[in-house]
Amino acid sequence: MLDIAYIRDRAELLQLTADRKGIAVSIRELLELDAQRRTLLQEVERLRAERNRRTEEIATLVKAAKAPNEGNGGYERAQVAKLAAGASLTEPPGTAYEARIDEAKGKVREANAKLAVLEVQLAEVSAVWRSLLELVPNPVSADTPDGKSDADNVELRRVGEVPAFAFEPLDHVQLGERLGLLDVARGVKLAGTRSYVLKGIGSRLHRAVQQLAMDVLERRGFTPLELPAMMRGEAFEHTGFFPTGKDQTFAMAEGDKYLIGTSEVGLVSYYAGETLTLGEPIRLAAATPCFRSEVGSAGRDVHGLYRVHQFAKVEQVVVCRGEAAVSDAMLEEITANAEEILRLLELPYRVVAVCIGDMSQKTHKQYDIETWMPSRGAYGETHSSSNVLDFQARRAGIRYRDADGTLRYAHTLNNTAVATPRILIPLLENHQREDGSVYVPAALRPYLGGAEEIRAE
């Protein structure tokens, strides 16, 4: 979420960003509501102050009216006050105060009546204002490519050689079924479309790539967390997955809880509402089950393991000082971590700069890593790295004190270190051999009992 003052100063830029990111929000409408909200808020605060002042005045007058009954000294002081005010000494004690008390009570009733109307108006305007504010996108970096979709992403580099098979290669589903590690049919029987079952070495392979990724990240200073797979709605709001991505989540039948689509939700929200010490960036990682409804993806990538409802993901998240130079450096670091994992898996890949039209609301700058998938004859997305600046930290209330003690919002970043079973597609397809077996990269062997290959039993 962006600061409203920032939005006022950059209304044209942010409207253009929203349009290019495909987010339906009117910055003009937001600013009109903001002006109404501020006017209403000022009047409400004025009336509340008036009510409080009058209430205090009533208490003072009531106390003064009782003064004659509190001893001769009090009575004499009250008489002197009456003379100073021009009142007759013959009037009954407290009469002048009663009139002023009645007048003050009338002012309180008048203020309350106005407040009853204005507070409702303020609440209504504020609710719409907030809903629009939550839709305003993060502006993108100056070097973000222009474009409308992933077809317009710009390749930055390629690593590794695409295999040239001397035989007709199989796709991952054929390989998985022949090797007895994948059963799509029974997965669909159990849970419907976009479901699968990994069995035997397939299940072990699924867990092996996760543990390899976690081990790499721990060696690089990341603290592992074991997180819930179900979290409160506010955690999704903190991280920018609500409201725009709410249709991609599975909601629980009772309560404001949802299944996560990434552990980024918990890794960032872990520090919600806190003031941190950020002399060094905080590096966190988690391996969690993830769930996505895939609304709007009907007919896309339906074959096999590419786009499924349930998967597992190792996510790395960084919380650092709110300085562009620091978070830019961290973006390169987390991307390098993901590339190292792909090199350990001995897979050819490329890194692309993501264009504005392929970015989410929260993203300021993004790299995707695409791994070669022979069955697709193309690179397919397997990793993503994003710098979201202070967008999430503002929503979540994550701050730190800079050198002069000023409170500032942190920057947050995230990266998919590995997502499986999608990574099993290139792993099986690129490492298949003519005799039907699959080569196991050396880095994975310790997690598979030293197995150097996968063969049908």
* 250 in Cβ contact with 258 (< 8 Å): yes
Residue 20 annotated in active site: no
Rounded alpha-carbon distances, angstroms, from residue 262 to 239, 270, 286, 341: 11, 14, 9, 19
Sequence-ordered list of residues with C-beta below 8 angstroms from that of 23, at least 6 positions apart, any chain: 135, 137, 244, 361
Residue 219 annotated in active site: no
**The one catalytic residue among 54, 292, 350, 399:** 292
Instruction: Tell me the C-alpha distance between 359 and 89, whole Å.
Output: 81
Instruction: Tell me the C-alpha distance between 180 and 453, whole Å.
Output: 14
Task: Cite the DSSP H helix spans in 308-366.
Answer: 324-344
Torsion angle of C-alpha atoms 191, 194, 195, 200, degrees rounded to 10: 170
Residue 384 annotated in active site: yes
**The one catalytic residue among 263, 269, 384, 385:** 384
**The one catalytic residue among 54, 283, 321, 422:** 422
**The one catalytic residue among 307, 376, 408, 445:** 307
**The one catalytic residue among 381, 395, 399, 429:** 381
Total number of residues shown for the chain: 457
* 136 in Cβ contact with 24 (< 8 Å): no
Sequence-ordered list of residues with C-beta below 8 angstroms from that of 257, at least 6 positions apart, any chain: 230, 231, 232, 233, 251
* 387 in Cβ contact with 331 (< 8 Å): yes
Q: Checking phi first, is residue 389 left (phi over 0); if not, alpha (psi -120 to 50) or beta?
A: left
Indicate if the alpha-carbon torsion angle 88, 89, 95, 101 is positive or negative. positive
Instruction: Tell me the C-alpha distance between 421 and 202, whole Å.
Output: 9
Residue 381 annotated in active site: yes
Structure tokens belonging to residue 6: 């920032």
Calculate the CA 267 to chain-centre distance: 10
Residue 292 annotated in active site: yes
Question: Catalytic residues, which ones?
Answer: 292, 307, 381, 384, 422
